[in-house]
Amino acid sequence: MGTADLQQQVTEALGQRFPGVSARFFQAPGRVNLIGEHTDYNDGFVLPVAIDRQVMLAARVRTDARVRLWSVNFRQSSGFSLEQIEPDSAAPWSNYVRGVAAVLQQEGFVLRGMDAVIAGNVPIGSGLSSSAAIEVATAVTLRDLSSLDISPVDLALLCQRAEDEFVGMKCGIMDQFIAALGQRGHALWIDCRSLEYEAVPLPSGVSVVVCDTMKRRGLVDSEYNARRRECEQGVELLRQCLPDAQALRDVTSADLAKYGDILPAIVHKRCAHVVSENERVLSAVAALRAGEVEEFGRLMDLSHASLRDDYEVSCAALDTMVDLAHKAPGFLGARMTGAGFGGCTVNWVDSEAAVEFAQQVVRQYAEKTGVTPEVYICAASAAAGEL
Ligand code: ADP
Ligand code: MG
């Protein structure tokens, strides 16, 4: 189902739920991170692409302060007044919309009410960030319907705050940032400390293929928090030798070779991943700029090994998916993406063989595990905006 189908879905739903004449259409994309995993909360670098899967809103302004919503995916309505925005535990999907509206108002923006229907084809809960897509799609809708002047970077920051404070999910800035600032045909190199960014063109002839293990992230919250603590502990100890280090971003692999002995073994491994991963992102950007497609794939392979062996956030399903990719036609590189313990792999594949690659991986993964995976051949897509 592509953009045109989504637009048809929301058009029909708007006509049924909220009959009327005019409508405006807004979308925001999901994303996949090519390299730079578990670096965001260490003030490091990431390199995501916006993908050709989106959350879309068809919306119409109201003259009062009401917001009426219909979710096509959840087949459910939810409504609220802009004068008092509370979470709706009976329609949790609406909390992303409520949260964005609440945060915009906290910032002093004056919002108009609206009738809106929402539909998406970003798979939900697979790690392709359908949550950032619905937040950013909502934010551009409210911005444009109320004629607000907000930069894309601020929009991303407000959406992150909505997810953190209103929905109650702590998250980095990457997902909202790429949804608000991605560019067609490009990856976005983001410095998670300064929020500086650069669009890096992707070479023609290579496809980004996402393979969903269908294993849902179980352990992820407690393990994620444990990794964050281990990273903080690493920086704190390393500051004895590197007094200026604020985060692992400020530590190089040469530093770690020199001073790493002061770290407990586990903390050393965690730091080794983050420090080397940041360096791999820089190398990967250089490889893209130089047209070194194979080198880029090799860096993805190294990233996976580091996440598996040093950061220990992979799992059998992810490792199986990566192993099968290595033997599939057109393979150039593969790694787990997202927090780990399930979810998706991201693969760098010769475009001419991408369909064959996908078919073989699906067949072999199903044979091996009894689970049929979803596979998406992705196109690097544009940021959120009005259609
Ligand atoms: P991910 O971001 O990895 O897809 P999350 O658990 O962070 O998974 O976010 C998924 C939630 O976002 C859904 O449970 C739902 O509440 C909301 N959401 C995502 N897509 C849609 C959609 N198309 N319509 C309504 N709500 C959506
Ligand atoms: Mg999410």
How confident is the model over 76-121, as pLDDT tens digits? Answer: 999 999 999 999 999 999 999 999 999 999 999 999 999 999 999 9
Mean pLDDT, residues 255-263: 97
Q: Is the CB of residue 125 below 6 angstroms from any atom belonging to ligand 1?
A: yes
pTM value? 0.96
pLDDT of residue 21: 87
Q: Is the CB of residue 124 below 6 angstroms from any atom belonging to ligand 1?
A: yes
Q: Which atom of ligand 1 is nearest to the CA of 132?
A: 2
Active site residue 175: yes
Which tens digits make up the pLDDT trace of 215-255?
986 666 788 889 999 999 999 999 999 999 999 999 999 99
pLDDT of residue 276: 98
Q: How far is the CA of 165 from the centre of ligand 2 (A)?
A: 14
Which tens digits make up the pLDDT trace of 282-310?
999 999 999 999 999 999 999 999 999 99
Which tens digits make up the pLDDT trace of 361-381?
999 999 999 999 999 999 999
pLDDT band, residue 171 (cuts 50/70/90) = confident
Q: Which atom of ligand 1 is nearest to the CA of 118?
A: 24
Q: How far is the CA of 43 from the centre of ligand 2 (A)?
A: 20
Mean pLDDT, residues 27-52: 97
Q: How far is the CA of 169 from the centre of ligand 1 (A)?
A: 12
pLDDT higher than threshold 90 for residue 12: yes
Q: What percent of the chain has pLDDT over 70?
A: 99
The overall average pLDDT reported for the chain is: 96
Contact 171, 136 (CB under 8 A): no
DSSP codes of every residue in 225-261: HHHHHHHHHHHHHHTTT-TT-SSGGG--HHHHHHHGG
The total of other beta-carbon atoms located within 10 Å of residue 91's CB is: 17
pLDDT band, residue 127 (cuts 50/70/90) = confident
Q: Is the CB of residue 93 below 6 angstroms from any atom belonging to ligand 1?
A: yes
Angle at the Cα of 247 (from 383 to 194), degrees rounded to 5? Answer: 35
Name the token pair of 41. 């909360």
Q: How far is the CA of 131 from the centre of ligand 1 (A)?
A: 4
Q: Whose CA is nearest to atom 23 of ligand 1?
A: 120
Q: Whose CA is nearest to atom 20 of ligand 1?
A: 130
Active-site residue, selected from the candidate residues 175, 212, 250, 301: 175
pLDDT of residue 209: 98
pLDDT of residue 219: 61
pLDDT of residue 248: 98
pLDDT higher than threshold 80 for residue 1: no
Contact 281, 190 (CB under 8 A): no
Mean pLDDT, residues 134-138: 98
Domains of the chain, first to last: 3-202 (3.30.230.10)
Instruction: Tell me the C-alpha distance between 217 and 126, whole Å.
Output: 9
Angle at the Cα of 85 (from 79 to 87), degrees rounded to 5? Answer: 75
pLDDT band, residue 38 (cuts 50/70/90) = very high
pLDDT of residue 126: 87
